[in-house]
Structure 1
Amino acid sequence: MYRERASQVEGVVVWTRTAPEHDDGPVYPVLPDGCMDLLWIGGRLSVAGPDTHAFTPDLSDGGPVADAMGVRFAPGIAPALLGVPAHELRDRRVDLTDLWPGPEGRDTAERVATAADPAAALESAALRRMALAGPPDPLLRAVVGGLDAGRTVASVAETVGLGTRRLHRRSLDAFGYGPKTLARVLRLQRALALVRASVPFAETAVLAGCADQAHLARETRDLTGLTLGAYAALANSETPQPSGSSTTA
């Protein structure tokens, strides 16, 4: 069962997923959403970087499916508190101690492991780092807002006072990829939300900002590996999962 709640800080969500006692069902992919997650799964504290394609957990060892929990950061928030550019974590899952090799990483993992409420401990660790990093850059928020509204990269660059090349460099550090890719991912998420709400595909394409249904179908296939029909069937059978949640349905 999947649950989430808003954190004390805007743009941060705390989520938990409890694995069924007997779970031999299919493994569902985690789809790109522009976010990054701090994860606690099976006794491992790790970071899920921004994805450019669907991520399917590797359960080939046949081990039991573990409960999972995490703190999900909206696009552009996590790199400052992690101390690493987002593009270095693109399409990767990395142990937190590899990013924080000193006492902080070990102490954080120990606090989460021994906490009565690991999700709350995970949130506290993230909020402490955010307090040190300072508030999120309002320029990055404006970039995400503009692209999520369907505006062009050139228009967003002009609004925030950056040339397109500078915007691209800033985007690599903040989001893990350039603004055009971020725009595609955000558009995909708008479309998938409409599909989950049972909006017809042709109408979904127009509302999400695609040229037509064929365009939406190509984008869905390219970014998720699923057809529109397959995603709709998945949405009807499984609660959508957060970025980086390596669990089965």
Structure 2
Amino acid sequence: MTARAVHVRSGQGAGGSWELAYASPHPRLRPGVISYRGIRLAMDRPRRRLETPIGASTLLLGFEGPVRISRAGQATDTLVSVYCGPTTTPAVGEHGGRVSGVEVLLTPWAAFTLFGTPQHELVNRTVDPDTLPHALGSPLGELSAALAALPGWAERFELLDDVFSQWWKAGTPGSERVARAWSVLVRTGGAIPVPRLAEEVGWSVRQLENRFREQIGLGPKAAARVLRLQRARRLLARGQTAAETAALCGFYDQAHLSGEFKAMTGCTPKEFSQARQAPGPVSPAADRLSGEATSLVLPARPADWSGPDAHFSKTRRAG
């Protein structure tokens, strides 16, 4: 078995107990498979979070407890395991207090290879992973059950390495130029102009747009928006002012930053920063990307978790 560093954080108190385990995928899977995170929550009440768009696809292989996901203008999904491709809109995720599983972050082009599904079909959607085809054919529910049966996080992450390696070898080959273009976008925080990006990989803008639609889901301009806002959230969380952040991230001005921020998170930069700093219920930090500001804890519903959904516009603010 390959030696790996697994970092575990846990806690227990009046509100219940929690455990988070973090590890990097095997080097042969990187940079396509970004990270593994094990989750075990046994809380005394429901938990709700607002999740903002990030430059990654998310696969949650659940062991216990469903997660309910709401996105403006869409039907609510209640699933134990979840796949979410690239998004440009926020979502609210909630659960009854007990949930466990492994969350895998993938670059969108790696998700295309593993699942073989044109990524534009999955943009701004949440789906049951069992509905996604993959090269070896068995339902992902079987993988979730196999992971749950193992004694610890290290063994679970080792199994994921083995399974993803098999899928990768048998999967749909992606374009090296798409992967390179995505890497450039990430490295520049979405600041590179699309024509220059196309020139960088030797394609026309139309070719780049078509390949991004297939293997990333978002077009290069939309992908750049997400990555630019992701960098802005990171800078704001580190104490940069909105004016400084707008200039550093390539927004026209502070108003442009605020408009983009609200469109993709549901709140202004000031509201987001204040909500991140506001005291809330005792629970572990659950940002999907290490060192990134990707989520907000939302107030618990006054009604039981099984009750009807409130409209997204009523829940998008926290604090």
Structure 2 length normalisation: TM-score?
A: 0.67
CA separation in 2, counterparts of 1:51 and 1:81? 19
CA separation in 1, counterparts of 2:166 and 2:102? 18
Distance 1:167 1:125, change over 3 A: same
Question: Among 85, 95, 102, which residue is 1:49 paired with?
Answer: 85
Q: Deviation at 1:68?
A: 4.2
Whether 2:71 is the aligned partner of 1:37: answer: no
Which stretches in structure 1 are left out of the alignment for 5+ residues?
none
Question: Among 104, 108, 133, which residue is 1:71 paired with?
Answer: 104
CA separation in 1, counterparts of 2:202 and 2:250? 24
| Equivalent in the alignment of 2:77 | none
Question: Among 183, 187, 190, which residue is 1:145 paired with?
Answer: 183
Which of 189-198 and 95-104 deviates more? 95-104
Q: Deviation at 1:228?
A: 0.5
CA separation in 2, counterparts of 1:169 and 1:112? 36
Q: Deviation at 1:36?
A: 0.8
Q: Secondary structure at the match of 2:93?
A: coil
| Equivalent in the alignment of 2:202 | 161
Q: Which structure shows the higher strand fraction? A: 2
Deviations 1:90-143 (A, max 9, x none): 122222221139851153233223222364244543333123338864312321
| Equivalent in the alignment of 2:35 | 13
Distance 1:2 1:180, change over 3 A: farther
Whether 2:131 is the aligned partner of 1:111: answer: no
Contact 2:286 2:295 in 1 (8 A): no
Q: Secondary structure at the match of 1:57?
A: strand
Which stretches in structure 2 are left out of the alignment for 5+ residues?
1-18, 65-79, 279-283, 299-319
Which of 201-210 and 177-186 deviates more? 201-210
Structure 1 length normalisation: TM-score?
A: 0.84
| Equivalent in the alignment of 1:241 | 287
Amino acid at match of 2:288: P
Q: Deviation at 1:13?
A: 0.6
Distance 1:2 1:197, change over 3 A: farther
CA separation in 2, counterparts of 1:144 and 1:29? 26
Q: Deviation at 1:16?
A: 2.8
CA separation in 2, counterparts of 1:216 and 1:99? 35
Question: Among 84, 106, 129, which residue is 1:96 paired with?
Answer: 129
CA separation in 1, counterparts of 2:199 and 2:62? 42
Amino acid at match of 1:28: R
Question: Among 156, 164, 172, which residue is 1:126 paired with?
Answer: 164
Deviations 1:200-229 (A, max 9, x none): 111111111212211111110011111101
CA separation in 2, counterparts of 1:103 and 1:200? 49
Q: Secondary structure at the match of 2:23?
A: strand
Q: After TM superposition, what 4+ stretches of structure 1 lie above 4 angstroms from structure 2?
A: 245-249
Q: Secondary structure at the match of 2:246?
A: helix
Contact 1:2 1:15 in 2 (8 A): yes
Which of 156-165 and 111-120 deviates more? 111-120
| Equivalent in the alignment of 2:120 | 87
Contact 2:119 2:214 in 1 (8 A): yes
CA separation in 1, counterparts of 2:94 and 2:46? 14
Q: Which has the higher contact order (CA 8 A, sep 6+)?
A: 1
Q: How many percent of aligned residue pairs carry the same amino acid?
A: 26
> What is the aligned-residue RMSD (CA, Å)?
2.9
Q: Which structure shows the higher helix fraction? A: 1
Distance 1:5 1:202, change over 3 A: farther
Q: Deviation at 1:151?
A: 1.0
